[in-house]
């Protein structure tokens, strides 16, 4: 066996000196080029970046933190629950579901405490907020920068972006009533989440104002497994008097609701209508008669990134809190 010295090229991690030797530039020039300094030419920056990529250079986060007091990391602490409409989210959901109840299951507070206690990130972005959210209280108490996708009812002012689910509930009930539907049904998100109460409030108040009968699902939510939603909706459409208009809290729930109704021989747009919201254009390819409200997740992500960077830099963001209010539906096929 041949023993290699600890500082051999096979063991050494690429550094600024490595890039400097590769490019023939000074270490200071390499450092400034990687930071996109305005006094370094674009050609030099390109050479340095290409060399860094070729060598597999990664900034030493510990060193960056020692020099600047920052890690240059923003942590995304996102729930594995919710609408599962792509491979990645479905995979995460499956892993989380399998770990639930085992020694490897993680309390929602664990990653937050870890980030704050170790200083492994400069800020945090959270989703799936609750009316009284211990994560937000903890971050606020520790004066740690964060932003949330969703609101709370804690009396704590903080950066957030949210979809106006109360307006969505109202819009759905109003459109169904306008189309002559008389018995409306809401498939809401889990009631532990803040946006569930918003959606329920909007739906109930608008349905009551329109003089139509309404009910809110009690045994299922928009995050329930699709097969369970399908079975429950099949049973509800079979019961008397049947519902004829459904507002759904997720894309998956809308598809399952339609499937349940169709198992009863009902046709969407004729015996019943469904309102749903979606971030990715899809539902009207499934059934063009679904009444779709778009949700701009790209706008939400951009807003949250800017808000948390402003919080990290201790500057007031141009807009610390944002709300996307739906006003209309996508085009509906005939």
Q: CB neighbours (10 Å) of residue 60?
A: 13
Q: Does residue 291 sit in helix, strand or coil? A: strand
Average pLDDT for the chain: 87
Q: What domain range includes position 236?
A: 165-294
Helices (H), 183-333: 194-210, 226-238, 251-262, 283-286, 297-312
In a domain, 112, yes or no: yes
In a domain, 333, yes or no: no
In a domain, 128, yes or no: yes
In a shared domain, residues 206 and 278: yes
In a domain, 8, yes or no: no
Q: Are 268 and 120 in contact (CB under 8 A)?
A: no
Taking the C-alpha atoms of residue 294 and residue 150, their distance in angstroms, rounded to an integer, is: 17
pLDDT of 104: 61
In a domain, 93, yes or no: yes
In a shared domain, residues 172 and 271: yes
Express each pLDDT in 204-243 by its tens digit: 999 999 999 999 999 999 999 999 999 999 999 999 999 9
Q: How many helices (H) and strands (E) does the chain have?
A: 13, 10
In a shared domain, residues 84 and 205: no
Q: Read off the pTM.
A: 0.77
In a shared domain, residues 282 and 138: no
Q: Which residues pair with 126 in a beta bridge?
A: 77, 148
Express each pLDDT in 93-108 by its tens digit: 666 667 666 666 567 7
In a shared domain, residues 41 and 84: no
Q: Are 35 and 20 in contact (CB under 8 A)?
A: no
**Tally of domains within the chain:** 3
Express each pLDDT in 22-63 by its tens digit: 999 999 999 899 888 889 999 999 999 999 989 888 776 555
Token code pair at residue 81: 């629950």
Tell me which residue of 110, 90, 88, 109 sits closest to 98, measured CA to CA: 90
In a shared domain, residues 306 and 158: yes
Q: Are 175 and 237 in contact (CB under 8 A)?
A: no
pLDDT of 7: 42
- CATH assignment at residue 207: 3.40.50.2300
Average pLDDT over residues 71-95: 63
In a shared domain, residues 156 and 81: yes
CA angle 291, 297, 298 (to 5 degrees): 130
Residue 160 has pLDDT above 50, yes or no: yes
In a shared domain, residues 158 and 169: no
In a shared domain, residues 150 and 189: no
Residue 114 has pLDDT above 90, yes or no: no
pLDDT of 94: 65
């Amino acid at each position: 066996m041949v023993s290699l010295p600890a500082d051999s090229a096979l063991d050494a991690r690429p550094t600024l000196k490595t890039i400097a030797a590769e490019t023939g530039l000074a270490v200071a020039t390499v450092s400034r080029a990687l930071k996109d300094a305005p006094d370094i030419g674009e050609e030099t920056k390109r050479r340095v970046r290409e060399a860094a990529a070729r060598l597999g250079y990664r900034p030493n986060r510990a060193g960056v933190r020692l020099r600047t007091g920052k890690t240059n990391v923003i942590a995304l602490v996102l729930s594995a629950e919710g609408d599962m409409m792509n491979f990645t989210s479905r995979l995460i959901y499956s892993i989380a579901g399998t770990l639930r109840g085992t020694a490897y299951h993680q309390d929602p507070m664990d990653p937050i405490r870890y980030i704050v206690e170790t200083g492994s990130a400069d800020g945090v972005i959270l989703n799936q907020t609750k009316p009284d959210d211990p994560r937000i209280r903890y971050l606020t108490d520790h004066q740690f920068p964060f932003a949330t996708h969703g609101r709370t009812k804690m009396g704590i002012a903080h950066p957030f972006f949210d979809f106006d689910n109360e307006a969505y509930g109202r819009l759905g009930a109003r459109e169904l009533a306008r189309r002559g539907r008389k018995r409306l049904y809401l498939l809401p998100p889990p009631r532990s989440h803040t946006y569930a109460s918003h959606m329920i409030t909007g739906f109930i108040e608008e349905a009551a104002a329109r003089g139509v009968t309404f009910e809110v699902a009690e045994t299922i939510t928009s995050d329930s497994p699709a097969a369970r939603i399908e079975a429950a909706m099949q049973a509800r459409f079979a019961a008397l008097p049947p519902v004829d208009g459904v507002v759904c809290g997720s894309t998956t729930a809308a598809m399952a609701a339609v499937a349940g109704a169709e198992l009863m021989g009902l046709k969407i747009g004729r015996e019943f209508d469904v309102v749903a919201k979606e971030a990715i254009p899809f539902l009207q390819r499934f059934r063009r008669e679904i009444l779709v409200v778009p949700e701009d997740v790209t706008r939400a992500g951009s807003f949250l990134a800017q808000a948390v960077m402003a919080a990290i830099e201790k500057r007031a963001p141009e807009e610390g809190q944002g709300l996307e209010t739906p006003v209309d539906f996508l085009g509906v096929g005939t």
